[in-house]
A and B are shown apart, each in its own frame.
Chain A
Amino acid sequence: MFTQDLLDKSSLLRKKWEDEVKKVIAKNPDMRERWSTVSDLEIKRIYGPEDIKNMDFEKDIAYPGQFPYLRGNQATGYRGKYWTFRMFAGMGTAVVTNQRWHYLLSTGQTGLSTAFDFPTLMGYDTDSPKAKGECGKCGVAIDTIDDFRDLIKGIPMDKITTSMTINPPATALWAMYCASAQEQGIPLTKIGGTIQNDMLKEFIAQKTLMCPPEPSVKLISDTVEFGTKYVPRWNTISISGYHIREAGATAVQELAFTLRDGMEYVEDAIRRKGLHVDEFAPRLSFFFNSHIDFFEEIAKLRAARRIWAKGMRERYNSQDPRSWWMRFHTQTAGCSLTAQQPYNNVVRTATEALAAVLGGTQSLHTNSLDEVLCLPSDHAVQIALRTQQLIAEETGVVNTIDPLAGAYFVEALTNEMEEKAWDYIHKIDEMGGMVAAIEKGFPQMEISDAAYKFQQQIDSGEKIMIGVNKYNVEDEIVDIPIVEIDDSIEQEQLRRLAETKRKRDGRKVAECLNDLAEACKKGENVMPYCIEAVKNYATVQEICDVYREVYGEYRDPGIY
């Protein structure tokens, strides 16, 4: 990177500076002995040319739109188009959520993102005993295509892209989306969006569990294949680090486990479906967390792009640059917010959103200040959305692409995180891949260790959370409005479900489910069967029960 002459000069000047530091410290010692990121990565007092002298500008940095895409996939950055302002929303019944969506679009949001309630996420209908007390609480309740039609009422499916945070029942919900589009006369080639559909991180972190890892990955490969052939604008997997981080992982662990998950999906689609990597890899998308440690997050996102590009080219012989691009959505860190002094959360979210933008995100959700307490209120959501709009339109950070490139510290930290991530990736390779590592409990234990360590650091005051272990307010009264989902929603949804069940042709439903079961047993792609089943009003749970029956049920092995 640098001439020997410059390095020599730097070394001289550095020595001088070090002497000065020693003198100052002797009189005024540092406040702390060790300085580290929120993930406990040690940070030096200063970085200089010597920290990045081994970098090769052409191979390691280059320009946006050039391998290894450290500086972004697109040549024009945010000048042609800002990132997508995509706020995660869902509550109560489909009708209620549809109203929230229209409100968000009217305030300048540019993409939709669906939060489902827990019964839907786990593949249970509202009338299941397991669903009691949970309906509509954390997201929207969807049991049948009748609900889905209400959810997307008035939304132009060929213009707005919709993301659905759904994992084990992803095939069922995506089938509803496809079937609804067809009902509206919109061809599948015209619809765009994302299903999260990332089961590996569920086993590692979020624990939305249904079937064992192996058949879960099979179902995912079905969607990859179906999307590749018939729904080319759809992102069939959103490989997610968000939940891994929320479960207590460090930034490096989030980076490593997420990318290794992505590699596992690539390997499975190649092996099981006989697809060429470049047929499907351009539609893989990622989803990261943006936590409170500003530079660590920027470095993480930059490193992620470079690791993926290298991995795709070198590990899988991909030839298509679109496969090398890591495209990702980012959400600010829910776990960094505090219930204490909740208005401080606006500042945290703004900092995290800025890091995501400087890291080059394609899409962003900003948490609302009240999300640590309840579902977000309209007002809180508006502030969160305005935070993004403000970063885009007022701060000027979008003027130039990857403004932090070349900064000694940022590049050195990016390199360090990449190195540490590859160490994990290689370790998991040695274990036989991510499914094998999960079966051994490896990523789960690493995350549990990190989570416990962080909590101990908070308790000891080594790490600070304002309002939790510093600057606390005695007898604080939190006077923000609490949004709650009334229990009457459950009754309403039970009524809706009963009505759909009454009007449908039970024999036809049974037939569809039987066909689906047969397809599962034969190893056929389940998607066409799912679409047929939902058109005939099969419920989310009925479809998932087929999977549970054929593939077996997986329970939390509780590795901690």
Chain B
Amino acid sequence: MKDLGKRVLAGDVRAASRLIRNLEDQITDTYIAIQEIFKETGKSHVIGITGAPGAGKSTLTDELIQAYRSQGKTVGVLAVDPTSPFTGGALLGDRIRMLRHAEDPGVFVRSLATRGAMGGISKAVGEGIHVMDVLGKDRIIVETVGVGQQEVEIINHAHTVIVVLVPGMGDEIQALKAGLMEIADIFVINKADREGAGKLYKETMNMVQMSRDRAGVSKGWQIPVLLVESVMEPHKFAESVEKLRDKIEEHYQFLIDNDLISERMRRKTAAEIQEALWGAVMCPILGELEASGEMKRMIDHCLLKETDPYTLADEIACRYLKEESDKESCAES
């Protein structure tokens, strides 16, 4: 497929999906398309949804799409599922909950596999957000994998982060302590009809009040804890998700009113530059090391304790970075 950048700018859904795919597959020259569309990005409100597996993130996302559509807003969704470390395959199962929107041109759902990335999202998420943004989606929802407590990467991409908890999963509070607490802008207690919801609500409220003065990126924001009814009661579920939508909007407005949005954008951009640097610097180096067989030799040496990873890294850094500076000095002279 040619002219991906232009086609995405023209609103071509499949081209958009292909561009995301090229990024996932790390096809060379894909960055040209990103360069083409980058100027047009930055208009959408990005919402992250994270929480343990089985917390009901996809069902919540589905209803949130509905809540936004009822207000005429368009929605993009990036739904991330884990890649099997053994086979490289993946079951991308989030989308199944959102199929009622399949034919709605105002909704674009794209499933992504982690492809080995840590932090609960795929490496292509950042660019995926740009693509959805350029397609004119008013709201972009990123649903993370939900495998554990390290899912903090989402803070680098979203303006508003929702942490979904459910009663009866045991170690919620530990998870809060371990980091999700610091990234949450809104807590949702899903399946609130279940036993233990009241207790979980109280615990979460306590936690929120204790950390009221957090220095994070939403300074001054009162983190709300919302109860969402069971999806098995569709009408009540829809109502409570509408309340969630309003809270999300309120949070975004808060960021704007308090000039916090620029801080988020800086953070997001810094993360992107780092990511791009990785692609531009590390990927070619790693590629060469693999191709030349040097990587294999280095591993062998390390295993035999003849050297160590740090010494090797130092050597390689000297070699490549020196070459770069040599080139520069050549250019100058």
Q: Decide if A and B touch, CB cutoff 8 A.
A: yes
- Which residues in A have some Cβ–Cβ distance to B below 8 Å? 212-214, 432, 435, 439-441, 551-558, 560
A557 to B60, CA, bound (A): 12
- Residue-wise interface mask of B (218-249) relative to A, using a CB-CB cutoff of 8 A (1 in contact, 0 not): 00000000000011111100000000000000
Nearest 3 A/B pairs, CB to CB: A552-B234, A558-B96, A212-B232
| B179 on interface, CB distance cutoff 8 Å | no
- B32 interfacial by beta-carbon distance below 8 Å: no
> Of B59, B96, B232, which is within 8 A of A214 by CB?
B232
Query: Given contacts A212-B232, A214-B232, A214-B233, is CB(A557)–CB(B195) below 8 Å?
Result: no
Contacts A440-B54, A558-B96, A560-B93 given; indicate if A553 touches B234 (C-beta within 8 A): yes
Q: Which of A432, A440, A552, A555 contacts B233 (CB 8 A)?
A: A552
B59 contact set on A, CB distance < 8 A: 557
Q: How far is the CA of A470 from the CA of B333 in the complex (A)?
A: 77
Task: Check A556/B96 contact, CB under 8 A, given A432-B195, A440-B54.
Answer: yes
Q: Which of A435, A556, A557 has the most CB of B within 10 A?
A: A557
Whether A555 touches B232, Cβ cut-off 8 Å, given contacts A432-B195, A440-B54, A560-B93, is no
How many angstroms between the C-alpha atoms of A213 and B99 in the bound complex? Answer: 20
User: A440-B54, A557-B97, A560-B93 are contacts. A213–B195 as well, Cβ < 8 Å?
Assistant: no
Residue of A nearest to B54 (CB): A440
| Complex CA–CA separation, A439 to B193 (angstroms) | 13
The residue of chain B having its C-beta at the shortest distance from the C-beta of A552 within the complex is: B234
Is B54 touching A212 in the complex (CB atoms < 8 A)? no
Which of A435, A440, A551 is within 8 Å of B234, CB to CB?
A551
Which of A214, A558, A560 neighbours the largest number of chain B CB atoms within 10 Å of its CB? A558
Interface residues in chain B, defined as those with a beta carbon under 8 Å from any beta carbon in chain A: 54, 59, 91, 93, 96-97, 99-100, 191, 195, 230-235
Q: Is the CB of A558 within 8 A of B93?
A: yes
Q: Is the CB of A555 within 8 A of B93?
A: no
A212-B233, A213-B232, A555-B97 known; 13 new pairs, CB 8 Å cut-off, are A212-B231, A212-B234, A432-B195, A435-B232, A439-B232, A441-B54, A552-B233, A553-B234, A556-B96, A557-B96, A557-B97, A558-B93, A560-B93
Shortest CB distance B33–A (Å): 32
Q: A439–B237 Cα gap in the complex (Å)?
A: 15
Partner of A552, one of B54, B96, B99, B235: B235
Least CB distance from A375 to B in Å reads 30
* 28 residue pairs bridging A and B, Cβ less than 8 Å apart: A212-B231, A212-B232, A212-B233, A212-B234, A213-B232, A214-B233, A432-B195, A435-B232, A439-B191, A439-B230, A440-B54, A441-B54, A551-B234, A552-B234, A552-B235, A554-B234, A555-B97, A555-B99, A555-B100, A556-B96, A557-B59, A557-B96, A557-B97, A558-B93, A558-B96, A558-B97, A560-B91, A560-B93
A560 to B96, CA, bound (A): 11
| A334 CB, nearest partner CB in chain B, Å | 26
- Taken together as a complex, chains A and B put the C-alpha atoms of A432 and B99 apart, in Å, by 29
Q: Which residues of B contact A212 (CB under 8 A)?
A: 231-234
Residue of B nearest to A553 (CB): B234
Chain A proximity of B168: nearest CB distance (Å): 9
CA distance A553 to B234 in the complex (A): 7
Residues in B with CB closer than 8 Å to A557 are 59, 96-97
Q: In the complex, A552→B230 CA distance in Å? A: 12
Residues of the A chain whose Cβ atoms lie less than 8 Å from the Cβ of B232: 212-214, 435, 439
- Taking the closest CB of chain A, its distance from the CB of B167, in whole angstroms, is 11
CB distance from B9 to the nearest CB of A (A): 34
Instruction: List residues of chain B with CB within 8 A of the CB of A213.
Output: 232
Q: How far is the CA of A553 from the CA of B232 in the complex (A)?
A: 9
Chain A residues with CB below 8 A from B233, complex form: 212, 214, 552
What residues of chain A lie closer than 8 Å to B230, measured between beta carbons? 439
Cα(A555)–Cα(B233), bound, Å: 13
Q: Which residues of B contact A440 (CB under 8 A)?
A: 54
Kindly list chain B residues whose C-beta atoms are within 8 Å of the C-beta of A554. 234
- Bound CA span A439–B231, Å: 10
Distance in Å from the Cβ of B57 to the closest Cβ of chain A? 13
Tell me, rounded to whole Å, the shortest Cβ–Cβ distance linking A451 to chain B: 15
Closest to B238 in A: A552
Q: What residues on A are CB-neighbors of B234 within 8 Å?
A: 212, 551-554
Closest residue of chain A to B195 (Cβ to Cβ) is A432
Write the chain A residue with the least CB distance to B96: A558
Chain B residues with Cβ below 8 Å from A432 are 195
Minimum CB–CB distance for A493 against chain B, Å: 27
Contacts of A435 in B (CB 8 A): 232
In the bound complex, residues from chain B placing their C-beta under 8 Å from that of A556 are: 96
Chain B residues lying within 8 Å of A560, measured Cβ to Cβ, are 91, 93
Give min CB distance, B20 to chain A, whole Å: 22
Q: How far is the CA of A553 from the CA of B235 in the complex (A)?
A: 10
Bound Cα distance A557, B97 (Å) = 6
Distance between Cα atoms of A214 and B97 in the complex (Å): 19
Query: Which residues of the other chain, A, contact B235 by a CB distance below 8 angstroms?
Result: 552
Interface centre among A440, A553, A555 (most CB of B within 10 A): A555
Compute how far the CA of A40 lies from the CA of B195 in the bound complex, rounded to whole angstroms: 37
Task: Specify the chain B residue showing the minimal Cβ separation from A548.
Answer: B234
B124 to chain A, nearest CB (A): 24
Residue numbers in A under 8 Å from B191 (CB-CB): 439
Task: Report the nearest B residue to A559, measured CB to CB.
Answer: B93
Give Cα A557 to B99, complex, Å.
10
Q: How far is the CB of A271 from chain B (nearest CB, A)?
A: 16
Which A residue's beta carbon lies closest to that of B98? A555
How far is A212 from B93 in the complex, measured between Cα atoms in Å? 20
User: Contacts of B195 on A, CB cut-off 8 Å?
Assistant: 432
Considering the complex, give the chain B residue whose CB is closest to the CB of A556: B96
- Nearest-Cβ distance from residue A217 to partner chain B, whole angstroms: 11
How many Å lie between the Cα of A441 and that of B53 in the bound state? 12
A556 to B96, CA, bound (A): 8
Nearest Cβ on chain B to A431's Cβ, whole angstroms: 9
Instruction: Please name the residue on chain A nearest to B58 by beta carbon.
Output: A557
Complex Cα distance, B212 from A487, in Å, reads 67
A214–B230 alpha-carbon span in the complex (Å)? 11
In the complex the two chains form, what is the Cα distance from A418 to B225 in whole Å? 46
Contacts of A552 in B (CB 8 A): 233-235
Nearest neighbor of B100 in chain A, beta-carbon distance:
A555
Q: Which A residues touch B100, using CB under 8 A?
A: 555
Q: Nearest Cβ in chain A — how far from B227, in angstroms? A: 17
Q: Which residues of A contact B97 (CB under 8 A)?
A: 555, 557-558
Q: Which residue of A lies closest to B93 (CB)?
A: A558
